[in-house]
Each structure stands twice: as C-alpha cells, then as structure tokens.
Amino acid sequence: MSHQILLGDCRDRLKELPDNSIDSIVTDPPYELGFMGKSWDASGVAYDVTVWQECLRVLKPGGHLLAFGGSRTYHRMACAIEDAGFQIRDQIMWVYGSGFPKSLNISKAIDKAAGAERDRVPYKGGIASGSGNYGGGGQIHVGTKDGSIPVTAEAEVWDGWGTALKPAHEPIVLARKPLVGTVANNVLKYGVGGINIDGCRVGDELMVNPSGSTNPRIAMGNGWREDAQPTVANGRFPANFIHDGSDEVLELFPSDKPNQSAARFFYCAKASKKDRNEGLDDFEPVAGIRTNAPRPNEEVKTPQRANHHPTVKPTDLMRYLCRLITPSNGTVLDPFTGSGSTGKAAVLEGFSFIGVEQSEEYIAIAEARIQSAKEDK
C-alpha cells in the first residue's frame, strides 16, 4: 500500500502517469461556484474536457470514475466527462439534513431599497458544526437583527418570498471507461469493470416479505417461498442513494415498518471535527470559516481548527465509494486531492493512492492525514 501526492495542475501532472495504470478514480472537483471567494472554485477546470480525457487515458479499460458535483453545476461536469469518452453509468445522490440555506429575503430587500428601516430585535443563534458543504465551524452569533415585520406596502406583498432552497444533496456521477470486449473478458484481462456489490451491501437484516409478515419466507427471484425459513441476508443491495442518517432526512421517509424506512440505505454523516483533524496535532490552527457576512452589532465566536479546507468529505463516505469501484490491491486516483479525504479513505481500505493538488498548503494537510491513517490501520 503506497501513496503519493503530486504538486501542480492536474492537467499537467496527469500526463506523467502511464496509460491504463489506474484502477479507479474517486474525486471531489471544484463545484465552480466561487465558494468563499476561493479562486480554485471558479476556474472552470471541472468543465474542462482535457482533465477528464487525461483521467480516461490513465484509467484501465472498464475502470470506474466517481466525481462529486454541485446541484447547480453538476450537469456541466457530467457533460465534460461524457464528452471525454466516459460512459455515464449512474448518478448517486448524497442526501443530508445539515445544509445551510442562503436565501435572500425579498421582503427585507424591498424595505432596504426603499430606505425603510425595520425594528431591531435581539438575536442569538449558531450554526451546527458540519453544516452545509463546508464542515461549518460551530459559530455562535450574538446581537440583533432586522425584525420580520414589513414596513412598506410593497414589502408586505412579498413577505415570505426568497431566492433559494436549502441545500440537502450533492450528486455524484458514476462513469466507466469503455470496456474491451465483454465484461467477463475485460475483468479477466484488466482486473476492473465491475462494481463491488457484496463488499458494499448495506447492513444485516432478517429477510421478511414486503408486508412485514413474520411468516417463515425468504425472498426469491420470482416471489416468496412458503416452505423456507427466515435467513439473515448479507445486507441490502447498494443503492444510488446515500443519506446522513439525520432526523430531517429520515422524516422524509415516514414508516412504521423499519424494513421500509430510509435506514435501509447506506448512510454517512458530515465530516466531524475529529475526522477533519486526525493527524494534524502539530499543525497551527486557524480560525473557523464564516458561512455568511456578519450582521450589524453582532459578536461572533469562531473556534480554531487545523484542517481549514472548506469542503472536506467524511472518511466513511469516501471509504465506501473507494471500496465500491476499486478491486483488491488496486490504485485509486484523485486529481483534486484537497486535504486528502480520498487518500485517507483509500489507504484505510488497503488501496494504493495517487493524488494531484495545486496547493502546497493543502498537500501538507493531506500528507499528514494519510500518514495518520496508515499508522492507525
């Protein structure tokens, strides 16, 4: 099990890798939203076909690619991946309940534009650690804010209207490099081409019929057999839906029958503080990242943390994705390494890892996190 992280633009560094040398690609590219004013999130690189052409070249025939995208911009990335020569096989939805809405209050905006000041009201609140796509910082807001009562007649008409929905999912494209011959021939020749179904089954459950009856039946291809005994399955077939187990998500799937609830899907919470900072004890902490502009007369307390990358993915989720498409002893590539979540996950699963990252600062964090994972394995 080895790992290396290459410094530089992935469009340049990937050219150094041999053809057909990589078993899988698991990556979290920029969403091209200009998040937190970061220039790397507004470069257009995720839409650049040449990036994905290089990924296609280094991937073995039949090898799979998993790439996260933003709900607003995913389609452009997916088109670039397809235009590069990949076959789009599916889309996995990662659903969570901790997203932070960034909606403009239209009624307040109308009052502000008219110069009509609303009464100020006391305010104290916080944003839970792990909120949104960026890990949060547990900020505590104390002060006052504009009240909710409109001042002008126009603002009253638009009271309750906004401009955005609460973010609650991120799509992941599942793509495959074209096979050489049949699936059977391809896996025997190149060692890739399939998905690790049994290795990624979800939970262990007693097999019962769909009505919830306790009669001794077992699922069969064409129905339920009366004379069979109940058996413990190896887990549910992996779905193209992953959730974080939060109450908010579970409430979307109300059911008084546990085997029909959302819990039947694989779930993984957002990256915890411990997950983000494992292996970074010797790093100088930095202030937590704000998720919105400070309000007037507001005191803000932001905790310190070592891993200040704004879009850290949870290790358990990345381990699952690596395991889903990577053969035993395979090599995982991440052309957008960031703080090393894919690399950490890959080595914990026993895979080799190659990453590319253009920020020396993030490489240092990634190296420490991956090395810590190796020591813990």
Predicted confidence at residue 372, as pLDDT, reads 86
Q: How far apart are CA 161 and CA 155, in angstroms?
A: 10
pLDDT in tens, 90-135: 999 988 877 778 899 999 999 999 999 998 888 765 443 333 333 3
Residues 6+ apart with CB under 8 A from 233: 201, 204, 205, 206, 207
Predicted confidence at residue 214, as pLDDT, reads 38
pLDDT in tens, 249-297: 777 766 665 555 555 555 555 556 666 666 555 665 655 444 444 444 4
- 375 or 297, higher pLDDT: 375
**Assigned token pair, 171:** 């799509």
**Assigned token pair, 144:** 């006052």
SS (H, E, C) the chain: CCEEEEECCHHHHHHHCCCCCEEEEEECCCCCCCHHHCHHHCCCHHHCHHHHHHHHHHEEEEEEEEEECCCCCHHHHHHHHHHCCCEEEEEEEEECCCCCCCCCCHHHHHHHHCCCCCCEEEEEEECCCCCCCCCCCCCEEEEEEECCCCCCHHHHHCCCCCCCCCCCEEEEEEEECCCCCCHHHHHHHHCCCCCCCHHHCECCCECCCCCCCCCCCEEECCEEECCCCCCECCCECCCCEEECCCHHHHCCCCCCCHHHCHHHCCECCCCCHHHHHCCCCCCCCEECCCCCCCCCCCEEECCEECCCCCCCCCHHHHHHHHHHHCCCCCEEEECCCCCCHHHHHHHHCCCEEEEEECCHHHHHHHHHHHHHHHHHC
- 1 or 335, higher pLDDT: 335
Predicted confidence at residue 269, as pLDDT, reads 53
Predicted confidence at residue 234, as pLDDT, reads 61
Predicted confidence at residue 222, as pLDDT, reads 35
Predicted confidence at residue 252, as pLDDT, reads 72
Interval 172-198 mean pLDDT:
96
Amino acid present at 38: K
Q: If pLDDT is split at 50, 70 and 90, which confidence band does 371 have? A: confident
Produce one character per residue of 165-181: b if its CB has 16 or more CB atoms within 10 Å, e if not: eebbebbbbbbbbebee
Amino acid present at 228: A
Interval 235-261 mean pLDDT:
72
pLDDT in tens, 37-96: 677 677 889 999 999 999 999 999 999 999 999 999 999 999 999 999 999 999 999 888
Adjacent-strand bridge partners of 65: 25, 175
Q: If pLDDT is split at 50, 70 and 90, which confidence band does 208 have? A: very low
Domains of the chain: 3-97+168-199+312-376 (3.40.50.150), 106-165+285-305 (no CATH), 204-236 (no CATH)
**Assigned token pair, 295:** 């309000």
Percent of the chain with pLDDT over 70: 68
Q: If pLDDT is split at 50, 70 and 90, which confidence band does 168 have? A: confident
Q: How far apart are CA 120 and CA 146, in angstroms?
A: 5
> In this model, does residue 242 exceed pLDDT 70?
yes
